[in-house]
Amino acid sequence: MAPLCVIYSRKASVGDVHRKVLLFLLLPLQNYLFLQAFCSTITGTLTTQAVMRGVGVGDTAATPFAAAVTWILKDGMGMVGRITFAWFEG
């Protein structure tokens, strides 16, 4: 018969079970967070491009003031949207 310490070492430890449970629970969350960050970056890039094109970046008639005001409005509306979403969902 094997010693008790050898039998115990063959069993799964609490740490192994804990790691498997965490992997099972946190992997979908990590995938969601990655997807959310990726989509947020793409949305921000496309929005910036549209704003710059809308105020006429590259056009000689466009003024830097119009670009600055539009940029501030875009960021401000983004902040208001995030706060509103968090208020409704939180």
Spatial separation of the C-alpha atoms in residues 90 and 76, rounded to whole Å:
21
User: How many angstroms separate the CA atoms of 42 and 38, rounded?
Assistant: 6
Provide the residue range defining the domain that includes 32: 14-89
pLDDT band at 84 (very low <50, low <70, confident <90, very high): very high
Among 21, 25, 71, smallest CA distance to 44 is for 71
pLDDT at 8 over 60: no
pLDDT single digits (tens) 25-37: 788 888 888 999 9
9 is a domain residue: no
Residue 4 has pLDDT above 50, yes or no: no
Residue 2 covered by a domain: no
3: left (phi over 0), alpha (psi -120 to 50) or beta: beta
pTM: 0.47
User: Tens of pLDDT along 37-83?
Assistant: 999 889 888 888 887 777 677 777 767 777 778 778 888 888 888 89
For the chain, what is the largest distance between any 2 Cα atoms, rounded to a whole number of angstroms? Answer: 91
Residue 6 lies in a domain: no
